[in-house]
Structures are given as structure tokens and as C-alpha cells.
């Protein structure tokens, strides 16, 4: 139940090889302990109130790889750009490396919004919507509509997997929002650690032609990277523990940062963004 969160009584009975009446009694006992909540025909695992977002536990997976990807991607972002950041854990690591820039960030991620909440030089626009429990992500029609009305220079995205057949996501609820993000951005950067390459998830997000750049880590399977490049996708490899990145596919990429763009100082005047968001139109 901890893995799937909800299960029917019949499924539990089959899995445990006991009767439904036995399962019902056991579920009632667990409900008394506060771990389970009974529903019509089944039971739902209850997360303790002291538990953090599932986002937090997911963020411990492939942590060095996500940090390497985050550094490489952040180095491609220019000051004063408007950047869409989606709700994945890898884009969050990109966000951590953007804190020195003057930016406008548009996001449906509460962790990202919270990260920048006290930054004077980073303006944060939050999409609105319904909070998806424990993931800290805003979903629903309001979130989709917000991104459909937005205009940004770059969208920093994550996904459940990528193959030569395209990009997929394990959360079908997020696909419509991500598509709106991609349509709103002048450039789409997909940030995936090596475990996502060659993997297919539940819901189709897009084809490879809708991604401008894939950034992954040095543990990525060489055959998969070669196959993606053969399809015309530019792939940037972010070495672990390094501030540089390597592109040996299509095009030239400087992952150390935009050339000729001095870092803004604290005494800068009010920043002027390349793409401004008309918040008043988000009705």
C-alpha cells in the first residue's frame, strides 16, 4: 500500500491469499492506528503529517547526476531571461544554480517558488491551480491556462523517459501542462538523468523534434545517446563533479555560461526581461 497508495479489498485478499473478510478486519485495525483510511471497496495509505513532500524523497535519487545536469543547464541561461521551470526534481537542481542571475521565473512547482521567494533579483510567477498532494506541483485547468497565456525564452523540463520514439511522462496529469509550457517557450531544454534514457513511461508527451536540447549525465548509455543524436536531437553530456559539459552531437554549446554577458550587480536598476508576463491577463 505504501507503493501504490490505494488498493481494493479484493486485490489485497488475492495478494495475501486470505479472505476479503480477513482483509477488512486487518484494514480496520490499521485504520485505528492512523496508517490507513478505509474507502468504499478499498483502502488508502495515509501519509503522516510530519512526512515531507514525496518530492523530497525523490530528490535523493541520482543526486550527483542531477547536480551535474543542473550546473550545465544553468550555464546556458542568460540574465534577464524569462524561464519556465517545471515541477521535476532535476529542474529544481537547475533552479538552485540560477540564484545568482536576474531572472523572471514562471513555474507550477512550489519547491521552486519557495526557493526563490526571498530573492530580490528573481521575480517568480506561480501558475495557480490545484496542489497535487505531496508532490508540491500545481495542476488542473487553471495551471494549463496560465502557461498557454505565457511567453518565455526557455522552458526547463523533465520527463519520465525518452527513446527514439519520443518523450513520455509517468504522470499523465502533468502532460497537458508540460505541452502548454513547451508551446510558450522559445527554446525547450529537457533535463534527464541517465536512468530515464531508453525508458518509456505511461503517457506520451512529445516527439524528439519538439525538444531543442537534451542534457543528461556521463553515465548515460552510449548506444542510447548515439541513437538519439542520429535522430537529430542535440545531446549535452554533463560530467559528474565538473563545471564543464561536453557536446559531441549536433551544434556547439557553452555550458559554462553565455559569453559576453556580465553577471548583474546588486546595484542594478529594475531588471527588464526579454519576455515579460502579462499577469493581469491571467484571469
> CATH classification of 57-238, choosing from 3.40.50.1000, 3.20.20.80, 3.30.420.40, 3.40.50.1360?
3.40.50.1360
pLDDT of residue 13: 85
Per the listing, cell 537529430 goes with 232
Closest by CA position to 186, among listed 215, 214, 160, 150: 150
Q: How far apart are CA 2 and CA 57, in angstroms?
A: 13
Mean pLDDT of 71-87: 96
Enter the pTM of the model: 0.69
Looking only at the bridges linking them, the beta strands covering 130-132 and 137-139 are antiparallel
Residue 63 — φ and ψ, nearest 5°? -65, -50
Report the C-alpha gap between 223 and 197 in whole angstroms.
10
Percent of the chain residues past pLDDT 70, beyond the cut: 75
Distance CA 283, CA 264 (A): 33
Element (H, E) at 95: helix 89-96
d(CA 152, CA 218): 29
Give the residue extent of every domain in the chain: 6-45, 57-238
Q: Residue 258's pLDDT band (boundaries 50, 70, 90)?
A: very low
**Predicted pLDDT at 47:** 54
In sequence order, what DSSP letters do the residues of 249-266 get, joined into one string?
SSS---TT--TT-PPPPT
**Residue of 82 and 88 predicted with greater confidence:** 82
Residue 269: Cβ within 10 Å count? 6
Q: Please, is 2 exposed, middle or buried when counting C-beta atoms within 10 Å of its C-beta (0-12, 13-18, 19+)?
A: exposed
pLDDT of residue 217: 96
With beta carbons less than 8 A apart as the criterion, state whether 180 and 152 touch: no
**Residue 183 CB: number of other CB atoms within 10 A?**
14
pLDDT at 3: 52
- To the nearest whole number, what is the mean pLDDT of the chain? 81
Predicted confidence (pLDDT) per residue in 222-244, tens digit: 999 999 999 999 999 999 864 44
* Distinct helix (H) and strand (E) counts, the chain: 9, 15
Neighbours of 19 (CB within 10 A): 11
Where does the pLDDT of residue 51 fall: very low under 50, low under 70, confident under 90, or very high at 90 and above? very low
Beta-bridge mates of residue 35: none
Average pLDDT on 145-155 reads: 97
Cα Rg of the chain (Å, integer): 21
Amino acid at each position: 500500500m505504501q507503493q501504490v497508495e490505494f488498493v481494493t479489498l479484493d486485490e489485497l485478499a488475492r495478494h495475501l491469499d486470505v479472505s476479503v473478510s480477513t482483509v477488512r478486519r486487518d484494514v480496520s485495525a490499521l485504520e485505528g492506528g492512523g496508517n490507513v483510511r478505509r474507502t468504499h471497496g478499498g483502502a488508502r495509505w495515509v501519509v503522516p503529517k510530519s512526512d515531507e513532500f514525496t518530492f523530497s524523497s525523490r530528490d535523493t535519487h541520482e543526486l550527483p547526476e542531477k547536480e551535474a545536469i543542473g550546473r550545465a543547464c544553468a550555464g546556458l541561461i542568460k540574465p534577464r531571461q524569462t524561464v519556465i521551470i517545471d515541477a521535476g526534481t532535476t529542474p529544481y537542481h537547475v533552479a538552485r544554480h540560477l540564484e545568482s542571475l536576474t531572472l523572471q521565473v514562471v513555474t507550477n512547482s512550489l519547491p521552486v517558488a519557495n526557493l526563490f521567494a526571498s530573492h530580490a533579483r528573481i521575480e517568480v510567477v506561480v501558475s495557480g491551480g490545484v496542489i497535487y498532494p505531496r508532490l508540491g506541483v500545481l495542476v488542473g485547468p487553471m495551471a494549463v491556462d496560465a502557461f498557454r497565456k505565457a511567453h518565455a525564452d526557455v522552458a526547463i523540463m523533465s520527463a519520465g523517459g525518452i527513446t527514439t520514439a519520443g518523450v513520455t511522462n509517468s504522470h499523465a496529469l502533468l502532460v497537458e501542462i508540460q505541452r502548454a509550457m513547451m508551446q510558450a517557450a522559445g527554446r525547450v531544454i529537457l533535463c534527464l538523468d541517465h536512468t530515464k534514457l531508453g525508458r518509456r513511461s505511461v503517457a506520451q508527451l512529445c516527439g524528439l523534434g519538439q525538444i531543442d536540447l537534451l542534457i543528461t549525465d556521463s553515465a548515460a548509455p552510449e548506444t542510447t545517446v548515439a541513437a538519439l543524436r542520429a535522430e537529430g536531437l542535440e545531446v549535452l553530456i554533463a560530467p559528474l563533479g565538473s563545471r564543464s559539459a561536453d557536446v559531441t552531437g549536433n551544434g556547439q554549446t557553452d555550458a559554462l555560461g553565455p559569453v559576453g554577458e556580465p553577471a548583474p550587480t546588486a546595484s542594478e536598476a529594475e531588471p527588464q526581461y526579454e519576455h515579460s508576463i502579462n499577469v493581469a491577463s491571467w484571469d
